[in-house]
Amino acid sequence: MAPAVKNKSPLTPVLIIPGFMSSALTVEKSPHKSWNGKRIWLNISQIGFQSLRIGGALRENEKFRASQQNNPKGNKSGESSDALHQQYMKEVECKSRWVQHMCLRDDMKSEKDGIEVRPVPGCAGVDYLSSGALTESFTYVFGPVLVLLKSKGYKEGINLDAAPYDWRLSPDMLQKRDKYFTNTMQTITHLYRQSNNTPVIILCHSMGCKTGHFLFNFVRFHLGEDDGQKWLDK
């Protein structure tokens, strides 16, 4: 008779709380239709920095145009200059709209009219600073960690998840607007139960360490000191 096969112990569940650089944000509502659904943080192409960099062709062209204002007869490539100027202005507009979407009002908690920017949920919000075949290789944060964990049998939503947040907001506003801390508690409970009541590892990075620390204090406040500590001890 073949020996009984022992059930493998469940993998220790992991919840990632990222730093602000790797907590991705996306546009859920915008007065500019082309921006709806766009990842805005971090997105190099949406910022428009790649063509505005010092020494870039567009910036050099603007310097050339400015230099010709005092000597218009010396400009023998006006057509080419005008074409590059139009491209430059489009890049400036793109950058301005990025700022428009990212900036909060003076109260530092309200968004501009017609704009809603929210965190990208789950592991997709913490893997790379800028997604894409050309940018992932040098903008990774938790991407390689996620690949490694999944290669060991971890499955997103079962024993692996992430809790990105809108880092522009204060902790109290994160809870008031997005229910961030109560939702994160629910995510932790889900991972715990899906893993046969195995304690959850909270993997924090940078500003995520502060957010995680606030979460622990929030649990004690939300559930009460005794019940909150029991929840944390599990």
Per-residue pLDDT tens over the stretch 199-229 = 999 999 999 999 999 999 999 999 999 999 9
Name the percent of the chain lying above pLDDT 70: 71
Contacts 24+ apart (CB under 8 A), 82-87: 84/57, 84/58, 85/61, 87/51, 87/58
What Cα–Cα distance (Å) separates residue 162 from each residue in 15, 79, 182?
5, 51, 14
Residue 91 has pLDDT above 90, yes or no: no
What's the pLDDT score for residue 211? 98
Residue 2 has pLDDT above 60, yes or no: no
What's the pLDDT score for residue 20? 92
Give alpha helix (H) positions in 50-179. 57-68, 78-102, 143-151, 171-178
Lowest mean pLDDT among 70-74, 121-125, 230-234: 70-74
Mean pLDDT, residues 110-119: 96
Mean pLDDT, residues 152-172: 97
Q: Which residue did the predictor score with more confidence, 159 or 95?
A: 159
What's the pLDDT score for residue 87? 62
Lowest mean pLDDT among 121-135, 138-152, 167-181, 189-203: 121-135
Residue that has been written with the tokens 């949406």 in this structure? 46
What's the pLDDT score for residue 168? 96
Per-residue pLDDT band for 24 (boundaries 50, 70, 90) equals very high
> In the structure encoding, which two tokens stand for residue 14, read together?
């992991």
What's the pLDDT score for residue 61? 59
Per-residue pLDDT band for 52 (boundaries 50, 70, 90) equals very low
What's the pLDDT score for residue 69? 64
Residue 166 has pLDDT above 70, yes or no: yes
CB of 174 within 8 A of CB of 28?
no
Mean pLDDT, residues 117-125: 96
State whether residue 80 is helix, strand or coil. helix
Per-residue pLDDT band for 99 (boundaries 50, 70, 90) equals confident
Per-residue pLDDT band for 44 (boundaries 50, 70, 90) equals low
